[in-house]
A and B are shown apart, each in its own frame.
Chain A
Amino acid sequence: MSVELFLFYMAATISLVSTVLALTRYNATHALIYLIISLLASAIIFYLVGAPFAAVLEIVIYAGAIMVLFVFVVMMLNLGAQGDTLEHEWLKPGMWILPTFLCLILFMEMVYVLSGSSHLLPGTAVSPKEVGIKLYGPYVLAVEIASMLLLAGLVGAYHLGRRYLMDSRGED
């Protein structure tokens, strides 16, 4: 077993375990931290597969911006210990049965699809330069659309967040 394969399995295990933990915590902050760990593990897998640029993006944007945004909002809501007791009420063990069963079937179907392919082909690394050329070549329209999407998200978030801030200032 090569080093890469071993590293891959280890990163995959970390990713899986931390995702499971993230989904089952009562405390929201704990769950978010575990998710960040999962994303870091994914970044390692990206690097191992030969997409270092994607790994960097995963850490910087996904774990670094999006998850931090989550953490900010959790802090802003400021639920505290009361939030934990609410979670205890909401998350009864019996509720896991049906969704787990359904998703297990879904997973098995996906594995059935994947099992038709040949296995363990070695991958090739793709350098960031190639990615850049492709991005501003054939995919330049997709880039423009993505930027407009982000603009829309920006405006929406600003608008939805604005009232809250104004009202809370008014209440003071």
Chain B
Amino acid sequence: MFDLISFIPLFPLVSFVILFATQGNLGKLPVAILGVGSIGLSATIVMLIAFQWLTSGATEPHIYTITSWISVAGFNPRFSFLLDGLSLTMMLVITGVGFLIHLYSSLFMEDDEDYSRFFAYMNLFVCAMLVLVLADNLLLLYLGWEGVGLCSYLLIGFWYEDESNGAAARKAFIITRIGDTAMALGIFLLFMHLGTLEIQPMLQAANQMWATGDKIPTIAALLILGGAVGKSAQLPLQTWLPDAMAGPTPVSALIHAATMVTAGVYLIARMHELYLLAPLAQSTVAVVGLATLLIAAFTALTQTDIKRILAYSTISQIGYMFLALGVGAWASGIFHLMTHAFFKALLFLGAGAVVYSLHHEHDIFKMGGLRKKLPVAFWSFMIGSAALTALPLTSGYFSKDEILLAAFKVEPWLWAGGVLGAFLTSIYSFRLVFIVFFGSTNTEPSEPAGLRMAVPLMILMVLAMIGGFFHVPVDAVFPLLPETHHNQTIAIITPLVPLLGVLLAYFLFLRKSLNLSFLLDSSMGRNLRKFFFSHWAMDWLYDRVFVVPYKTFARLNQSDVVDQVYEGIANVTSILHYLISFSQTGHLRWYALTMVTGLVFVLAIILGII
């Protein structure tokens, strides 16, 4: 049964090839069957494998080799897949949530004429992501990594006729490229010292070669963190994710909420033994996570575009996952990854339903009072926001609380920052819910979406509610945290803070009885608001520091220095040609003279006189 593992990325790949080859000439129904069905088949196989894995109680990882890839001087990465608890969890999330999103988008994208291209790209993405999580060696993982980067670019810029979509796609690709380069450097460093790229043997060799706190594993871990930071949109490479909302909503749900942006988390979790050897790097992970989650939470408070609020929320939640990895709560990080996939996909698809019914209106202040008119969307947002906010007994509650309690044991300040983030999360998410679904209607919706959108939403609602009771089967993968006594006060404060936030949001945005305009309208308030709205001026900063100097340098180098060398060679040849052509006078007697001169010299040389 486990041998079917190689079929899992195969079905989406075959579907991509067929859709690519037919170039949009198939009808909408075959395309939908192909696109959604391939993911459905993969999901079925994953569930069968998961069932067998869980019931057999296997703990040892299995490796399945498809074929050899490169075989040079002992360097032998292969196309082989690693099946253990971690990759199984990731596969379930990718194919499960992926299937629901594909089903949803078969209705959402129906009016688009590039239907076939959309499903082709989505299937290719799922294939690349599956290769990424199943990869047995870092080279194959990097292949999947680049594949998802490519698909992200293609899907963000899906409506390419609008220039700004192309610009957003390029921004995403370039920024993640910076991260990818760091990661490549890290892989090179590891290979140089450890001699292999297969993950299990590599980590064993690392443990033997290096002691905790050595320089080289720290550098390698930091470089790999650089790659993770790029792909998962953390500080300092997070500016691409809000702009990536230019793509269609299912794309935002699948790639920029549930799967691609979690690739960085997966990578760090997979390489956790390396991070255990480099405590400095691990602390950096935690600090990066904390800083990111706070910056994104403050920014989300001021946003007005429904999808951008959710984008900043994603950045913030992935910060929680990084925080978990940084304090050593590996399983909690993966658990939060899973629950986040459920409720964030739910929120994005719900936002899609709202936008669909309001004819692509994105500004939340132009919406309102949609509670009765779009019931499915309303309940998606209620349940999703409840899970996001970590209200008790939702899935988010279990995962986020585990992280915060683990953080407190390592460093109380981390816990404090996390709790502040939770407070802000509750405010901004319920601000969204109250403004969009309560109050008076500003834009009239057309009829709500059909079954193909409603059913995935309902399934996700159920998962978001009960997902907390699943147990992520990664016990054999990660070292367990020592079970110490929880501080009781902290254990009580942590779940209460989000409730306070909901209450505050209720008074501010629903009842409108609390008026903070004295704060908001003060000059400091207005400046802070502008600062937060512009994402802490990071776009402005990057523009000044990187883009403007680069463009200036490019403009200075317009008559390219390197080109001048080659043009110089051509120019010298031209000049020589011009000079030599003076000897072609066209006069016969001149030619005779030169011939005789040449003859005299040649004879002299032959005779040995010269």
**Cβ of B462 < 8 Å from any Cβ of A?**
no
Closest to A102 in B: B596
Contact with A along B71-115 (1 / 0, CB 8 A): 000000000000000000000000000000000000000000000
Write out the residue numbers on chain A whose beta carbons fall within 8 Å of the beta carbon of B596.
99, 102-103, 106
Write out the residue numbers on chain A whose beta carbons fall within 8 Å of the beta carbon of B597.
102
Write out the residue numbers on chain A whose beta carbons fall within 8 Å of the beta carbon of B593.
98-99, 102
Write out the residue numbers on chain A whose beta carbons fall within 8 Å of the beta carbon of B604.
109
Taken together as a complex, chains A and B put the C-alpha atoms of A151 and B596 apart, in Å, by 31
Closest to A103 in B: B596
Closest to B604 in A: A109
**Cβ of B554 < 8 Å from any Cβ of A?**
no
Closest to A95 in B: B589
Write out the residue numbers on chain B whose beta carbons fall within 8 Å of the beta carbon of A105.
600
Taken together as a complex, chains A and B put the C-alpha atoms of A102 and B604 apart, in Å, by 12
CB distance from A153 to the nearest CB of B (A): 21
Contact with B along A97-114 (1 / 0, CB 8 A): 011001101100100110
A-B contact count (CB 8 A): 21
Contact A106 B600 (CB under 8 A): yes
CB distance from B254 to the nearest CB of A (A): 84
Closest to A109 in B: B603
Number of interface residues of B (CB under 8 A): 9
Contact A106 B607 (CB under 8 A): no
Write out the residue numbers on chain A whose beta carbons fall within 8 Å of the beta carbon of B603.
106, 109
Taken together as a complex, chains A and B put the C-alpha atoms of A14 and B359 apart, in Å, by 115
Closest to B601 in A: A105
Contact A102 B600 (CB under 8 A): yes
Contact with A along B571-597 (1 / 0, CB 8 A): 000000000000000000000010011
Contact B607 A113 (CB under 8 A): yes
**Cβ of B609 < 8 Å from any Cβ of A?**
yes
**Cβ of B599 < 8 Å from any Cβ of A?**
yes
In this complex, the member of A103, A105, A113 whose beta carbon has the largest number of chain B beta carbons within 10 angstroms is: A105
Write out the residue numbers on chain B whose beta carbons fall within 8 Å of the beta carbon of A98.
593
Write out the residue numbers on chain A whose beta carbons fall within 8 Å of the beta carbon of B609.
109, 112
Closest to A112 in B: B607
Contact with B along A11-54 (1 / 0, CB 8 A): 00000000000000000000000000000000000000000000
Taken together as a complex, chains A and B put the C-alpha atoms of A137 and B600 apart, in Å, by 38
CB distance from A115 to the nearest CB of B (A): 11
Taken together as a complex, chains A and B put the C-alpha atoms of A99 and B593 apart, in Å, by 7
Write out the residue numbers on chain A whose beta carbons fall within 8 Å of the beta carbon of B600.
102, 105-106, 109
Q: Which chain A residues have a beta carbon within 8 Å of chain B's beta carbons?
A: 98-99, 102-103, 105-106, 109, 112-113
Other 8 A-B pairs with CB < 8 A, given A102-B597, A109-B607: A98-B593, A102-B596, A105-B600, A106-B596, A106-B599, A109-B603, A112-B607, A112-B609
The 9 closest A-B pairs by CB, nearest first: A109-B603, A102-B596, A105-B600, A106-B600, A102-B600, A102-B597, A109-B607, A112-B607, A109-B604
Q: Which chain B residues have a beta carbon within 8 Å of chain A's beta carbons?
A: 593, 596-597, 599-600, 603-604, 607, 609
